[in-house]
Chains A and B, each alone.
Chain A
Amino acid sequence: MLGFVIQRLMQAFVVMLVISALVFVGVYAVGNPIDVLISPDATQLIREQTIRAYGLDQPLWKQYLDFLGRLSRGDFGRSFVFNMPVLDLIFSRLPATIELTLAAVFGATLLGVPLGIYAGYRPESPISKAIMALSILGFSVPTFWIGLVLIFTFAVTLGWLPAGNRGDTVTIFGVQWSFLTWNGLTHLFLPALNLSLFKFAMMVRLARAGTRETMLTDTVKFARAAGESEWTILSRHVLRLIAIPIVTVFGLELGSTLAFAVVTETIFSWPGVGKLIIDSISTLDRPVMVAYLMLVAFLFIVINFTVDIAYAALDPRLRTRRAA
């Protein structure tokens, strides 16, 4: 196990290094931030001073090495636009996104998996058909459109829920959270619902396919022959047997939603990192883009690692193979 962890840490380091180079080159190849940063009627002297101040007069490889040097001291640089350390900027926005993502992914899983198991267990029942119809809707209707419909219905027409922003927050450990106040919760509900629909549909389909397959196996027949109740069979046998693909997709979804909740965050003016990255792309705020993309890569590495550990916990066969 320890060997496995060390191996993965080394892999992670190499991956991060490669990502940093790719992202750096990629981001620096697009546009010229000077055009955005300096007003067109600035004097040539001011232009050159600014270019030098940001290190933009250096060749690309030199800029990258300087970046790596600062990085090794934990310095991601300063935002061109906000003129504050990039890390502080990202971490001031991250809790909002984490909160929204967790609400969406957990909600989708906790609701989607039981409904999917039911749909797989009773494929012919009208309720199952309704669940499947809902999941097709969740898959095929674009997020931005559902978001707008949700706002129009619940915020504009009915006036039950707010249309955007985070609402009241509570500060815990220096971080602001919305879900702990009633007002914050009402603000969280619509964007989380919007974000979770696609994931819900996916979880329903995964759980349904797994359950249908598992119900036909001898494991289920044998449990039935031993007189175990259908509830025991579903909750103790089937759920455990279909867990691996569900955990895999759960991890992937968690990562990609944390990184790219952009559409929902934009529609609901949710002050998370998704909105930050869109803003920084349009202002060519390179340090923010680089740091953000590296953070995303890092998140995926952490999530994949956690998912691998979860596999071993869920499937004893993997445990022994790894130990051997």
Chain B
Amino acid sequence: MSALLEVRGLTTHFDTRGGVLKAVEDVSFEVGEGEIVGLVGESGSGKSVTGFSILGLVDAPGRIVSGSVRFAGRELVGLGHGALRSMRGREMAMVFQDPSATLNPVLTVGQQMRLAIAAHERVGEAAATARCVEALTIVGIPDAARRLENYPHQFSGGMRQRVAIAIALLNRPKLIICDEPTTALDVSIQAQILTEMKSLAARLGTAMIWISHDLATVSSVASRLLVMYAGRIIEAGPVASVLRSPRHPYTRGLLNSLPSMARPGQDLVQIPGSMPSLANLPEGCSFRPRCPKAQEDCKVMPALTGDGARAFRCRHPLDREVAA
């Protein structure tokens, strides 16, 4: 599996009046063709900013300070606006959390889809319509030709997100960054969309970065997991392996805080404290103030180390559990 996307040492900062927010710090990972990688972390851990950085869509006052993003062998950091724009949508696309906020309420679905096509190619009216209908049909919207004339508010929440996904698929990108695309939906619809996106990715050979704060959701779609905390990747590895035996105390804490069917009626276990401010990170390991295993040597930032597929950023990792 050759790497479609290679992110190396990506660092994105926001220069604000209150100081420099280190939203993304030294993030490295790769995504293979057709692979689905899950990016988990709580709000403000830098997962969305990582997604935007890859697309070159970090809004001022944010900027990519250093690092490299290689997509299909091409370096994207430092690429001109025009070149980046023509890659967006065609080579890689993004789907956002709330479809009622992303779709333009005053344009019909067809108008918006045609704009997305016209951004990359000159296509005749009939051919454009055919492509819109095809994309809507792929994501499971019945009677697609008629629905092109509808406005976003005439769709249900789940259908609206399908429309957004269809727009992302229009130009057949090789990579789709999904920024919590199911968070705003009903639980029953969530499961549907998850399954469909997974099979869609397999069928079309589209790679995905699935960003979410919800471990359960991510682990049901992704094959590999990246856990972010305070702007850094603190643990990475195949989903099953990370879930079975997390090595970083933070990942362990996240897993412990999940409601489980095995322990009904019990209080959920919380990680004490809250994430530090990105403008004022603690010295050394960012998780140190909340970590039950923190020691004196944690005051120096540990490197991301590991063996083979597994990696973690911790000097005092949890023991590898014996596969039960």
Contacts and interface: CB of A to CB of B under 8 A. Distances in A.
Contacts of B93: 225-226
Given A218-B96, A222-B96, A228 B89 contact: yes
A175 interface: no
A218 B151 contact: no
Most buried by A among B89, B97, B115: B115
Interface in B208-239: none
A228 B104 contact: no
A227 B88 contact: yes
A226 B94 CA distance: 7
A237 B116 CA distance: 12
A223 interface: yes
A316 interface: yes
Contact of A222 (B94, B118, B120): B94
A224 B104 CA distance: 13
Contacts of B242: none
A232 interface: yes
B87 A320 contact: no
A232 B86 CA distance: 13
B105 A221 contact: no
Interface string A228-242: 110010001100110
Interface string A196-224: 00000000000000000000111101111
Report, as a range, how many residues of chain B touch the other chain: 35 or more
A317 interface: yes
B94 A227 contact: no
B55 A236 contact: no
B106 A315 contact: yes
Contacts of A27: none
Interface in B103-131: 103-108, 115-116, 118-120
Nearest to B176: A225
A228 B115 contact: yes
A213 B115 CA distance: 22
A316 B106 contact: yes
B138 to A, nearest CB: 16
A240 B55 contact: no
B86 A227 contact: yes
B120 A227 contact: yes
Nearest to B102: A222
A236 B115 contact: yes
B101 interface: yes
Contacts of B118: 232
Nearest to A319: B151
A34 interface: no
Nearest to A316: B151
B310 interface: no
A37 interface: no
Contact of B116 (A216, A227, A240, A315): A227
A317 B119 CA distance: 26
Most buried by A among B86, B94, B108: B94
B314 to A, nearest CB: 34
Contacts of A243: 106
Contacts of A229: 85, 119
A217 B102 CA distance: 8
B89 A227 contact: yes
B103 A224 contact: no
A145 B105 CA distance: 44
A241 B106 contact: yes
Contacts of B55: 225
A315 B108 CA distance: 11
Contact of A218 (B102, B167, B170): B102
Given A222-B103, A224-B85, A232-B119, 10 more contacts: A218-B101, A222-B167, A225-B57, A225-B96, A227-B85, A227-B119, A228-B119, A237-B107, A316-B106, A320-B153
